[in-house]
């Protein structure tokens, strides 16, 4: 096998791996990492429980549409995601922490099992694993 062909095949194999993982140039954005629900801050675990129960929520903005403008979550139709405030101890405002819920196969954030956590106001996300 020639040096050029070997180099091509190596590059092709890497490109296929990236495509299979959904993180290559063909993906619309990076896929979020994960976090175990037990490893979330206690305030986030409480908000997650409230989402699953359908409320009540502390902030008037909880449950509003999250537009995914950063495109860090999988691209979905407008209205698919909703956001919820995770209280930050000592903060005088809503703080930077949120849980974003998708509608999933059920069409309902309370039962979808599709949740992401951000501690930096949408700069990064980790998918919550239960």
Q: Contact at 8 Å (CB) between 103 and 110?
A: no
Q: Tell me which residue of 55, 103, 106, 97 sits closest to 76, measured CA to CA.
A: 103
- Rounded Cα–Cα distance for residues 98 and 94 (Å): 9
Q: Contact at 8 Å (CB) between 117 and 33?
A: no
Active-site annotation, residues: 83, 121
Q: Contact at 8 Å (CB) between 114 and 48?
A: no
CA dihedral 18, 76, 127, 117 (to 10 degrees): 130
């Amino acid at each position: 096998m020639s040096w050029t062909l070997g180099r091509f095949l190596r590059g092709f194999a890497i490109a296929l791996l990236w495509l299979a993982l959904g993180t290559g140039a063909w993906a619309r954005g990076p896929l979020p990492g994960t976090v175990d629900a037990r490893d979330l801050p206690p305030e986030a675990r409480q908000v997650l429980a409230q989402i699953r129960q359908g409320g009540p929520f502390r902030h008037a903005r909880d449950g509003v549409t999250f537009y995914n403008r950063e495109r860090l979550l999988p691209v979905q139709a407008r209205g698919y995601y909703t956001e919820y405030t995770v209280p930050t101890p000592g903060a005088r405002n809503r703080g930077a922490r949120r849980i974003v819920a998708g509608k999933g196969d059920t069409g309902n954030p309370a039962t979808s099992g599709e949740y992401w956590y951000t501690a930096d106001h949408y700069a990064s996300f980790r998918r919550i694993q239960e």
